[in-house]
Amino acid sequence: MSTYPLKSILSTFTNKNGKKLSLFNAAPVGGMSSLVIKIIILAMPFIEFFAIFNDFVYEKVGLVTQIVMFIVFMSIMMMIVFVIIYMTRKNVIKKITPSWETYFSDVDITIVLAVGITPYSDFFKHYSKIVEQDLSAVALHEKLKELFVQLQEENIDLLIAMNKDYKYIKQV
């Protein structure tokens, strides 16, 4: 297993301005680009439309059945989109976790990327300011270490509560 550079790790879940991506980009760590996934997701309804609404299908099932099929398949497609996004996110996190732990062993990547309130909820706000400075890899690593310490100090109560809850869950 290779260790990915810090900038590659960060580019899997942030854009060039430091904002969090809704669809993670697996390209920097050897996966499929988020652009390709977006194109596939956007093309799916059009492919479905042309597959259902054509003369061959019309002759076999009729217009009403075509409309019902379109609605049913569209709902199935929404589920497929959800699964694609979930699996992409899961695979990216799985690939970058070992490398992340070499850089920040005391910071859980899943908590940093969590959607809810965590000690690192403000990470992306601070990171976007750091990105503007265009730092080298070593300087970026040091800045991020300082940022995580700062966020841990600001949210010490939440961090303690989460650790107590985690230890309790582990015992049960």
Helix ranges, 5-155 (H): 6-13, 34-52, 55-61, 63-103, 109-112, 123-131, 137-154
Cβ 34 vs Cβ 47: under 8 Å: no
In b/e form, how buried is each residue of 135-155, taking b as 16+ CB within 10 angstroms?
Answer: eeeeebeebbeebbeebeeeb
pLDDT, tens digit, 9 for 90 and up, residues 13-53: 888 888 888 888 888 888 888 899 999 999 999 999 999 99
Q: Look at the pTM and tell me if it is higher than 0.85.
A: no
Share the mean pLDDT of the chain: 87
Rounded mean pLDDT of 148-161? 86
pLDDT at 172: 45
Q: Is the pLDDT of residue 163 over 80?
A: no
Rounded mean pLDDT of 118-143? 86
**Where does the pLDDT of residue 69 fall: very low under 50, low under 70, confident under 90, or very high at 90 and above?**
very high
What is the C-alpha separation between 9 and 29, in angstroms, rounded?
7
C-alpha gyration radius of the chain:
22
